[in-house]
Structure 1
Amino acid sequence: MTGSSHHDATASLALAVNLDQCRAGFGALLTRADLPATAAAEVAKRYAEPHRAYHDTAHVGLLWLRHLMHGGDAGDRGLALAILFHDAIYDPTARDNEARSAALLGRVVPGDTGWAQQAILATADHLAYAGVDCRIARLLDLDLTPLAEAPEVFARNSRMLRREYAAVSEPAWRAGRRVMLQRFEAAEPLFRTRLGAIYETPARANLAAEVAALSDAA
């Protein structure tokens, strides 16, 4: 990693430590998305739902801040909409959250939101996307950057995710979590864009550590 990349990695990973800063990023994202007042209120209300511990305003705010930090286009409203709405509907027990989130975007935001809806649909399975749209690839990579957090932040995020799945038994949670993380481990590479130069190595370290811990507890 070059000196510049090391600085970018240190600064970017520091963002996730401060959840208030990430929530401020949500405000900046809302501003860039330039939504009608009713749509802005709707999406803010959804991200404030009490069952959300991880998939909240801090999560999407962090992704927008990282997009900007890594030289992303601050004027890319389509990507802003995709980040903002990609978890707008979140039910841990459902399998159609992304489809419903994309539909919500199309319903509450006027104008052509087709690209952002397609990008949101791609987040249903980050590893299955086989397209060549570099902006969709960037969205997918941004959404995976939390896999690369500092170990203590990664552990915090895992605890938050567990809270969202409170209705799932501990054995079922561990088994499902292990399978998902092992899928990410098997991806070569995990990141599709130049963000991989910063996030690939720490993400793989976190994945290996948690998979090992889950396997030991099985």
Structure 2
Amino acid sequence: MEHAFPLPVPARGRMIYIDPPLWPAHNTVFSHLVSDTSLAELHGFAAAAGIDARAFDLDHYDVPVRRYPELVARGAVEVDGGTLVRLLIRSGLRIKARERSASLVHPLLARWEALVPGANGLGAELLNRWGEPHRRYHDRRHLLAVLEAAEQLSEGPPPRTVLLAAWFHDAVYRGAPEDEECSAELAGKLLPEAGSPEAEIREVQRLVRLTAGHRPEPGDTAGMLLCDADLSVLGRSPEAYRRYLADVRREYAHVNDADFAAGRRRVVEQLLEANPLFSSPAARNRWEEQARRNLRSELERPRPAREPQD
């Protein structure tokens, strides 16, 4: 859409901004709607305008061209795309590329190729699974975080079996108790195609199954490494931990608030009962103290109403 008037340069303040509808998708073009103040302000504006909550994408709403004039009439300030990005960065609300699942396909595929040369097809299949639309926490960002955490905890390169298990540990994810077992079975089905020997496959399956309870036996170095890497999110900064909680809530959007709160409380209490929470000294030194603060804070925090869903 072309404009017959110049786009204004915004002043600082509590405003909602929109860029021109130039981004093609679904047989139309889209604008981005953002706030320079808070996501709460953005969600409030979107709800009042009747924008589907599923149009929210981490730090903005995608809105089709047909809604553009109405949203401007409602008070959204027109800016060019570059100005909109700068406003997001200045506000601190901009989500970096590594926090966007879709941006991680090529970096993760490069990691897979280094781990299993010549099996790009299998790597692409796994990345497609990790990119399924119902995932909000257990997505490619989580896969990368587990791989990086395993590297941080290892004195040298992590064992190949641990890295393979990281790739498979949530390859099947439906939020069901049998997910880990199904993921282990998937490893048994697909790894022969990559030339993995039988002993390696059995070890990968064993490690994947351990992530169901995160309780490796003493002396199980590989199991401790994978389980601690999987739980490393608990030791993030308070802000990052809040984002993790929001993502988990979105994964369980089909569960009502009361049931979700009760189930989440049981999970947190079980985690706090574990002493220690992390199995290895390296993980305890890195994350134990912060993880316990985050978990206790979650129990003490009033449970908010469900946030808008993507």
Shift of residue 41 of structure 1? 2.1
The structure richer in helix per residue is: 1
1:54 pairs, out of 137, 141, 164, with 137
Q: Hey, what does 2:284 align to over in structure 1?
A: 196
Q: Hey, what does 1:4 align to over in structure 2?
A: none
Q: Hey, what does 2:148 align to over in structure 1?
A: 65
Change (3 A) 1:119 1:161: same
Determine if the alignment matches structure 1 residue 97 to structure 2 residue 97: no
| CA shift digits 1:53-102 (9 cap, x unpaired) | 1111111111111222333542622111001110000001x210001101
Shift of residue 106 of structure 1? 1.1
Question: Does the 8 A contact of 1:119 with 1:136 survive in 2?
Answer: yes
SS for the counterpart of 2:231 is: helix
Measure, in 1, the Cα distance between the counterparts of 2:179 and 2:115. Answer: 20
Partner letter of residue 120 of structure 1? V
The structure richer in strand per residue is: 2
Determine if the alignment matches structure 1 residue 206 to structure 2 residue 294: yes
Measure, in 1, the Cα distance between the counterparts of 2:287 and 2:97. Answer: 19
Shift of residue 215 of structure 1? 7.4
Structure number with greater Rg is 2
Determine if the alignment matches structure 1 residue 168 to structure 2 residue 250: no
Measure, in 1, the Cα distance between the counterparts of 2:146 and 2:304. Answer: 32
Question: Does the 8 A contact of 1:25 with 1:62 survive in 2?
Answer: no
Q: Hey, what does 1:20 align to over in structure 2?
A: 98
RMSD: 2.3
1:138 pairs, out of 211, 222, 225, with 225
SS for the counterpart of 2:301 is: helix
The normalised TM-score by structure 2 is: 0.60
Question: Does the 8 A contact of 1:165 with 1:173 survive in 2?
Answer: yes
Question: Does the 8 A contact of 2:207 with 2:223 survive in 1?
Answer: yes
Shift of residue 45 of structure 1? 0.8
Aligned length: 199
| CA shift digits 1:16-73 (9 cap, x unpaired) | x856178376345423431623321210110110001111111111111122233354
Give unmatched runs, 5+ long, in structure 2.
1-94, 306-310
Shift of residue 109 of structure 1? 1.1
Change (3 A) 1:74 1:32: farther
Q: Hey, what does 2:265 align to over in structure 1?
A: 178
The normalised TM-score by structure 1 is: 0.83
Measure, in 1, the Cα distance between the counterparts of 2:264 and 2:129. Answer: 25
Change (3 A) 1:166 1:215: closer
SS for the counterpart of 1:195 is: helix
Measure, in 1, the Cα distance between the counterparts of 2:107 and 2:145. Answer: 6
Sequence identity percentage = 31
Change (3 A) 1:216 1:61: closer
